[in-house]
Amino acid sequence: MKISVLGAGGWGTTIAILLKRNGCSVTLWEYSKEYAETLKEYRENFYYLPKIKIPNGIIITNNLKESVNGKDVVVVAVPTQYIRNSFRSIAGYDFGKTVVISVSKGIENKTDMLVSDILRDIFSINKNKIACLSGPSHAEEVSRKLPTAVVCAANDLKTARLISRIFSNDYFRVYANNDLKGAELGGALKNVIAISAGIADGAGFGDNTKAALMTRGITEIMRLGMKLGARKETFFGLSGIGDLIVTCASKHSRNRFVGEQIGKGKNLNIILKEMKMVAEGVATTKSAFNLARKFGIELPITEKVYEILFRGITPHTAMTGLMKRALKKEDEIKKYHLT
């Protein structure tokens, strides 16, 4: 298999190394020409994945056209908000029979599009040849070969199963799923809830609070996901609850970190400026808030995260607002389904 990974962040680099270990011919594309040269010279991603060697057999390049031409699989590992700008030079490219798989987890602010929709908007891609890889999978752990299970989702189950076979090995297990929209939404929206969990940690609310936010958070993810056409059961899997657990609890979680710093009283712009990597949940909060308003869906945790991040209310004010909402029956999800 000839595979190209577009985006040499921590996760993109980890995916490239994994695929090389699986016997694939791998190209890793880096947006910055200067940093691509650094990666080639030192074979280590100092910024995003330190102390993990990049095998010599992986081709590292800044040439985007060469990266996508003649590949069996192209993996998109660029943060969601940067995808359009990063790929402007090859806009309209026809991928033909190439499988294009996204490992990014977000919703584009300007359009409220999921990554698969963005890619199909700027490229010519067969709808059955596009997929996403999602689930609890921090690069820091996968790169050290710690056992990890994720899901590959595609509209065509054959495509998902193909990716499952290519990516799986003795430490990385990939399940197949044909609910592409559900897997993408789970991966994107859990970042919003992870910010809320981090805020709870930073503000000192306790374990009870975080457990409640996570549990009610998956309910919010299901509400919006089902309204947009996803299947409810997808959110009980690896791309839903699985990814939510690890992102809300892990020391590696960038989104939980942002929330924690906010909970401690730090300024959002300063937090983001000091971070090397992107916390996708900040931008996704805007899109989730807009989609909830557009479709008339109640997402109280998401709304409070939005107000904390962008309207300056305090975590304690937000929490009081959540706790004093009208009491209701626990399971009120069915009414949000399209059917």
The H or E element spanning position 94 is none
Closest CA to 155 of 208, 124, 203, 116: 116
Nearest to 194 by CA among 139, 118, 262: 262
190 is catalytic: yes
SS in 3 state form for 97-164? CCEEEECCCCECCCCCCEHHHHHHHHCECCHHHEEEEECCCCHHHHCCCCCEEEEEEECCHHHHHHHH
Looking at the DSSP assignment, which residues form a beta bridge with residue 47? none
Among candidate residues 71, 129, 190, 304, the one labeled active-site is 190
Q: What is the CA radius of gyration of the chain?
A: 19
Rounded to the nearest 5°, which phi and psi values hold at 324?
Answer: -100, 10
> Which residues form the catalytic set?
190
